[in-house]
Amino acid sequence: MGMREEYLEKARAELDDLVSAGVVMVGNAFSQVLLLKGEPESGGAQLLSGRDGQALRAALGRLGYAPEDWVGLSSNDAEGFPLVPGTLRLAIVTLDPSTVIALDDAAAAALREAFADELVELANLDAATLAPGCLAQVQGMRVMALGGFEEGLADPKAKQVMWARLKRLPPLAEPY
């Protein structure tokens, strides 16, 4: 088995472990952008399969991300219960995105718990509390809470606010 196959097998095993722990994910596990959603989908639909997911994928495309360059993660397990902070943290670290976007208040709260030790060290209070629209650097990741993305789609002014926040998260240049 070559190096690439070993790497893929390791990643597959780590993702299988997360699924076994009840973690709900969709999209490309090898993505720059992680979309964290705390509110469940209506009617038990697949994560980010609704209007919010479509709008987010369109927004990421307009920002210059490739169509497949996103992974969705629920801060709730497969049964709808909140993930314990350690499991959420493990899921995020395993997926290793460069950018984490908390889509709603429940997702931001889950992030605050999962990365409490790192957030408390930030000098900027808005960043430390993940205030909506504030960009924070946590464990080498850009982290932003949007503050109610799905609800914002119904209001033109709130939609503009969400777009302005997302525009602060363009794709990062390659490190080489």
Helix axis angle, 3-20 relative to 85-95, nearest 10°? 160
175, containing H or E segment: none
Q: State the pLDDT at residue 44.
A: 76
- ∠ Cα 44 46 29 (to 5°): 145
In this structure, the dihedral spanned by the alpha carbons of residues 75, 81, 83 and 85, taken in order and rounded to 10 degrees, is 110
What is residue 140's DSSP assignment? T
What is residue 98's DSSP assignment? S
Identity of the residue numbered 175: P
Q: State the pLDDT at residue 174.
A: 62
The predicted model scores a pTM of 0.93
Average pLDDT, consecutive stretches of 10 residues, N- to C-terminus, the chain (176 residues): 85 89 93 94 85 94 94 95 96 96 97 97 96 96 95 94 96 69
Which residue matches tokens 């399969």? 49
Q: Name the token pair of 55.
A: 């709008």
Q: State the pLDDT at residue 7.
A: 82
